[in-house]
Amino acid sequence: MTMVIGVVNYGMGNLHSILRKLKVIGVNYILIETPEHFDEVDKVILPGVGHFGKAMENLKSKNLIDPLNKAILSDKKPILGICLGMQLMSTFSEEGNKEGLGWIKGSVKRFEKSEDLRYKIPHMGWNNISIEKESVLFKNIQDGAEFYFVHSFYFESGDVKVNLNSTNYISSFISAFEQDNIYGVQYHPEKSFEAGNQLFKNFVNL
| Domains of the chain: residue spans and CATH | 4-204 (3.40.50.880)
Q: For residues 77 and 183, give the distance between their C-alpha atoms in angstroms, rounded to a whole number.
A: 11
pLDDT, tens digit, for every residue of 107-136?
999 988 877 667 788 899 999 999 999 999
Pairing outcome for strands 182-185 and 79-82: parallel
pLDDT mean over 13-22 = 89
List the catalytic residues.
Answer: 83, 188, 190
Mean pLDDT of 131-143: 95
Asked if the model's pLDDT at residue 158 lies above 80, the reply is: no
Under 8 Å CB-to-CB from 200, ≥6 apart: which residues?
A: 21, 22, 25, 27, 189, 190
Q: Are strands 4-8 and 153-156 parallel, antiparallel or unpaired?
A: unpaired
Q: What is the mean pLDDT of residues 127-146?
A: 96
Over residues 23-35, the pLDDT tens digits come to 998 999 999 999 9
> In terms of DSSP bridges, do strands 153-156 and 107-110 run parallel, antiparallel, or are they unpaired?
antiparallel
β partners of residue 93:
98, 108
pLDDT band at 159 (very low <50, low <70, confident <90, very high): confident
d(CA 15, CA 6): 11
